[in-house]
Structure 1
Amino acid sequence: MAVVDDTMTIYVSSSGSVRNTGVPGTMTSITEIVEEPSINVVNDTIYVAVAKDVKDSQLNLIWALQNSRGNKVCILHVHVPAAMIPLMGAKFPASSLKEQEVQAYREIERQSMHKTLDEYLRTCQQMGVRAEKLHIEMDCIEKGIIELISQYNIQELVMGAASNKHYSRRMMDLRSKKAIYVCEQAPTSCRIQFICKGFLIHTRNRNSDGGNVDVTSPSVQEVPNSGAGHLPQLRSQSFELGQNHFVKLTNPAQELFRRVRSSNDGHESDGLSRRSPSISSTRSHNCSVEPVLTPNLIIEGSENAVELTLSNFSLDLHDSSPPSILDGGTYDTLYDQLEQVMAEAENARRDAYHEIVRRGKAEKEAIDAIRKVKTTEISYKEELKLRKELEEVLEKEKEELDNMKSERDKVKEELQHVLDQKSLLGSQITSNELMIKELEEKIISAVDLLRDYKDERDELQMQRDNALREAEELRRKQGESSSTQVLQFFSEFSFLEIEEATRKFDPNLKIGEGGYGSIFKGLMRHTEVAIKVLHADSMQGPSEFQQEVDVLSKIRHPNLITLIGACPESWTLVYEFLPNGSLEDRLCCKDNTAPLSWQSRIRISAELCSALIFLHSSKPHSIVHGDLKPSNILLDANLVSKLSDFGICRILSCGDSCSNNNTQFWKTDPKGTFVYMDPEFLASGELTPKSDVYSFGIILLRILTGRSALGIVKEVKYALDTGKLKTLLDPLAGDWPFVQAEQLTHLALRCCEMNRNSRPDLHSDVWRMLELMRASYGGANTFGLGSQGFHQPPACFICPIFQEIMSNPHVAADGFTYEAEAIKGWLESGHDTSPMTNSKLSHYNIVPNRAIHSAIQDWLQTQ
């Protein structure tokens, strides 16, 4: 502010400091200046305690932000966990609920708390103030605040003095128990300002001596103003001014003092040399004029400061006026004029002050009225919202009641229907009891008949065993080794029978095509068979024919396909017919067939492993299949796997083909399907049992993923390394157990190692894991393999009726194989349905199953 002549202007800022912009001089004292409340921060952080409801603490936060003066603000909150927890429309004590339920609700409370604190932080951000948040969880809010003050050495705290509903204009002290407790118990090093509804109610200053110093609420009534903020009110102003210091006065008084000063200065300059000691002595004791000026209050908005004219001051004129002036009438006249002007200024000041106070009160009343209107509007809106929600709830309850009534009517109808059915069933039960008695009599007679059949069967079995021993001794003596002699153990068919079975190779009966030739479905001697016919231009047909006959005529296993017979003149092979096609067809869901479940896939893997172990451990020569792939694994009616196509298999022996380390292999040109072939076999041409292990690993990966074999090893390794194995498992198999699937994947990758020495052993490593997996989900035990070989009979050797190993197996019209005596007794007792499927039989003829019979005999001889 500019200085006019010799006057002095004093500004009192909101922080309480005084600026002197007048003429040079010394301000001796300024007492009792009350300014707008502010925050003097020592550690540069202001902590503002807030409630869990933003509406309750928003005005207090805004007050603290407006008075933060650029300091950092920290939102302080004490979270009190709820003692009663809502559950299913009611509230229960936390101690009566489960720990998981309590923890879940506590987590919801904490999320709500952080959401509320984030709203406070957004308010700070909108007002351009840096802010952080600090919270603690305790059962008591005031104790939590004391704990935070002590823990973080808080020196500046702003908190509520009372709830907003308890605020009044005449409120001068603390109303809240929490505020009173914090004010009394907080460390003395913390300065606390208590706010209510945006107004400072009480201040407790810090005290370094150990006691609390309370400052009562300021007498300043903060009058809302649209542009100038709050108007401070001064209690009293008492200023003592030294020599040559003047108060800035308004127009007439200022001009009067300027003339007096000029006159005095002129007389001093003229009479300085003429003064005598006596005059000087007289002047030192006379003429001390002390005019009294009333306070004058001026608001300057541009600098947000208060310009004060001082109320009590002393003007010592004895050094600035000559005696002639002081003693004359001129001074009295000027003094009278000054008194008159000061009186007028005092009246004008009072009027202006009263007008400002009146306007401030009017504005405050208007703001309070607006707030009440807004509060009323909010309450009205909330009431409307509650009414609407209540109406919606009532409507929903009405709909639910209507639904319950309709459901009750339906239940009544169903109950009546059930009662009618009950009476009907009662009459049926009575008739059924009579039928049951008749059937029991028939069953008793059938059991007697079956016992007779069983005794006769045991006698025939003894005769058969004796005949078999004699035949075995005769075979050893004759030393049969040639393929022609081997054929005596098979049914030898003529080409005419082959033509009749295939209806002269009708294309409609063709079910497959391979490198050897075509495969037809046929019916020979009342048995469904699969007939493999050599291509006319095939160069390897005769050798593959001889190889299959040599191998399949000597071995039997429940998971190896059964060779029923052959036609040497046309190089034709006759196998048992397997209705579910190959594993390749089922993995691809050919002809919209149902996919294999993961349980069936694990069982098929175990069955294939069992067949390979049987081939590799065959005595005296082990057998390597050499062409393992899903298309060579066939499935019967019960999805039991059967390994087929032994055309390029090799029989290993420890002769010239053995290496120095006694590892058996066959040196030959690589044959088979490329993606399933052992890389070392491709490189060296040495076919070993480990070559079958590699192919088995590729098949395992296909069973797990259902994907193509090309590049499957790299794809699975990448999925394992990146933790994405679940996305690679075949979803058509159902919900794979991930632990077992992961173990099976690692096992398959070990089987696919490039170095054959790194591949696992089928019996000690692979079989044990697969058997445990198969047993873990309760798969049927169709075979058993111990350390010494097979001990439990395959399921296909067991008669479904007698539950014993069959000695005379026969096939019925339902396609299942039974003991002849058992199925005959079943049919003769009056049954016309299948014992296995309960469906009606198309005929009652039974046909001997020579293939199963031969397999059972071979299995019995190995035990």
Structure 2
Amino acid sequence: MAVVSHVPAIAQPVDQIRYRDIGVPEIMSIRGEIVEEPVARVIEDKIYVAVGKQVKESKSVLLWALKKWREKRFCIIHVHQPAQKIPVSGLGSKLPVSSVSEQEVRSYREFERREMQKSLDEYLLICQSMRVRAEKLFIESDSIEKGLVQLILQYGIKKLVMGAAADKHYKRKMVDLKSRKAISVRLQAPASCQIWFICNGNIILERNGSNVPEGTGGPSTPGSSSAAEESCDEWDDVTPTPVRRTKSSKEPQDFHNPSPPSVKDGSVDDTLYDQLEQAIAEAENSRQEAFVEALRRGNAEKDAIEAIRRAKASESLYTEELKRRKEVEEALGKENLELERLRKQQDEVNEELQISLDQKSLLESQIAEVDQTVNELEQKIVSAVELLQNYKKEREELQIDRDNALKEAEELRRSRKEASSSMHQPQFFSEFSFLEIEKATCNFDPSLKIGEGGYGSIYKGMLRHMHVAIKMLHSHSLQGPSEFQQEVDVLSKIRHPNLVTLIGACPEAWTLVYEYLCNGSLEDRLSCRDNSPPLSWQTRIHIATELCSVLTFLHSCKPHCIVHGDLKPANILLDANFVSKLSDFGICRLLSQGELSNNNTTPCCRTNPKGTFAYMDPEFLATGELTPKSDVYSFGVILLRLLTGRPALGITKEVQYALDTGKLKMLLDPLAGDWPFVQAEQLANLALRCCEMNRKGRPDLGTDVWRVLEPMRASCGGSTSFRLGSERRCQPPPYFICPIFQEVMRDPHVAADGFTYEAEALRGWLDSGHDTSPMTNHALSHKNLVPNLALRSAIQEWLQQN
């Protein structure tokens, strides 16, 4: 609990220190019964007024005190109670302090103190307007009543004015206190403190102190306000008036300063009595002069303390200004580095744009040459109409290629711009530096390479103590950056149990980091690569069902449905439990409802065909229109491969011929086990429907295909192999387990040592006084925790499946 005040920062009230320094005991030894009362009056002369943070509510209490004691010195006291809930920007609500970051709590506490200072300054302005000297004093406490009692004890407050209840609760017949704080202060304050309880400008109750001067009486009632005012008037005079007293027989005998004998007793003559009166008068004058000197020295001491306080405040402001200047210089240096980095990126974008423009010029020159050739052929071979039409068609295709090249150049420029600006936007996945990528792949060791394609290379690596798959796109390829941005946009915004988890990315090297799936791709398992065991027919049905589920999910996304566009077994990955995960969204397309084909029923997009030819929709190859039905065709080819294990090229004709001749059983893959012929025949017919040349004849995945596959998958549950697979799936991956709790994490956070822990476990470790890593026992460079959002999402998906 800290006390902050604009008065001099001393351990005891200024008035008490002032009179202790001038040596009051020497003055009191002259004539004790006269000096004691003025000293007490001076110490208790200051009026303390307790106010709240709302000036409107406490103004009436202050005005009552100012009108009653216009010539007194005032001190405005306030107990600042920090808020337990803090408003959070963007949420529109308040959260407990424990749920908000330390920086936001610190910022809001500074805001509360500024608002409190403004309120206290308004109270001082009210006093200034009534020509009354006033100071302000405040303390921080979780309880207002305890804070007031602490101020009374710490500063020896003798006169206190405070509110009895809120003004809205005031009634003219109120005879007792209504405020819990007022009742508590009345009971807990020391008996020496005299308190006036005010409501709506009226005194409700007065509690007299135990050391009140003569004439004030005992504790008053609400009806004794006039008596209280008279008793207060006796305290208004600061300079004491000499009092002559005649000791009665009941008063104790003062041996050090006996009262002068009376004239009537005849023991002293008039001359001696006059000398005694003169000595007493001189002593009184000396006492008054000493008292005035004490007041002067006290004021000088107060001025000196105030000057010291101002000097310390100036020194603190100077230190703070130096600190701010250093922070500004550091921020400016960081901004210059960032500006230089952006300038380099801009130069790279300009170079790539120039390459695109050169390609555009090359295409335009090629078109001009074709036009010239066509003109020459038209003049020489008028009769060769068919050949002329072919050349015209070729010219149109070149124009389309030119338009596509221009569009891709524009998309590249836009993606570069978005990529550069995305550095300043919040991401929902982790960002890794290129040094981390190099370290994870042992400087791109060829032995760690697990995949290679036209897009780039895939490496297995260990990143932040997790097994991951690292996909590096070719930097020299124009398609690389756009594929990177496309895959980040898709996988960072959608989640599905059968979508590969994107853990993070390295934008500076166009690198994507995925969860590592130890069973590789479906293509590897169908070909039994590295002598791996073949997939059973039950597992193949399960994979087909999962693939149908994730494609239905992608095609039904709002507001843009997602078409994969490159569906093939090499892009379907399998985890340790042979659960399929769809990957490689670099060339997928997001289709809105506004992009409709000629029949105005199916979302589509015109683009250049990309991918593996054997799995591509023939209608897409002919027209360039990519639709969700294009993925249905690719799904049908994959389904035929699961049935037969044969290559994709020409597989539809082979299966169709086998069905027509009744030889389907001979075509089924014997490595999958003993296929149920009825289900195999049903799957073959379904796959051929998906592979219809005309996309209008292909079935719908969410209705027609799902009705066939889901019952088959359910029927596989009774087999031994599938029961074993289900049991294995209940075992969580090792990186889901907290190293401290040894349980599946619910709120994973990354510490400074690079390991991921349950947030509650790591905070308990740090709060218990540890500053080392629980795993390596090395000192932690900091205690900040970073949420592992990608891992938390993957854990939630796993928990939903189990």
TM-score range, shorter chain: 0.3 to 0.5
Q: Which has the higher helix share?
A: 2
Which structure has the larger Rg? 1
TM-score (norm 1): 0.38
TM-score (norm 2): 0.40
